């Protein structure tokens, strides 16, 4: 059974963590192309750490789009309310 859910963390060092693999932007895209070739319905969840640059998050989103993945989403953190 192919894996259907993958997650990618965008790190402040402009590197990406794809299910435990630390990758550069070009390596991330190459890996996502391989994932999409196996199953384009695989879901990718992108999460940027608080110090990640917007450009790095946008690069991850663009790589996912170019790879052919059909289901891409963002993981967000609920802001804690103060009492």
Query: Which tens digit of pLDDT belongs to each residue from 44-83?
Result: 999 888 888 889 999 999 999 999 999 999 887 655 666 6
Per-residue pLDDT, 72 = 94
Tell me if 36 sits within 8 A of 71, measured CB to CB: no
**Whole-number mean pLDDT of the chain?**
87
Predicted TM-score (pTM) of this structure: 0.82
- Strands 16-18 vs 5-10: parallel, antiparallel or unpaired: antiparallel
Two structure tokens written together for 31:
């890996």
What's 70's DSSP letter?
S
Strand 21-23 relative to strand 16-18: parallel, antiparallel, unpaired?
Answer: antiparallel
- Quick one: pLDDT at residue 5? 85
pLDDT at residue number 78: 57
Which backbone phi and psi does 3 adopt, to 5 degrees?
A: -70, 130
């Amino acid at each position: 059974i192919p894996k259907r859910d993958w997650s990618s963390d965008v790190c402040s060092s402009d590197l990406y963590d794809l299910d435990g693999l630390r990758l550069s932007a070009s390596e991330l895209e190459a890996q996502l192309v391989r994932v999409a070739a196996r199953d384009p319905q695989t879901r990718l969840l992108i999460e940027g750490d608080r110090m990640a640059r917007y450009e790095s998050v946008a690069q991850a989103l663009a790589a996912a789009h170019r790879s052919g993945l059909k289901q891409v989403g963002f993981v967000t953190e609920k802001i804690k309310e103060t009492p």
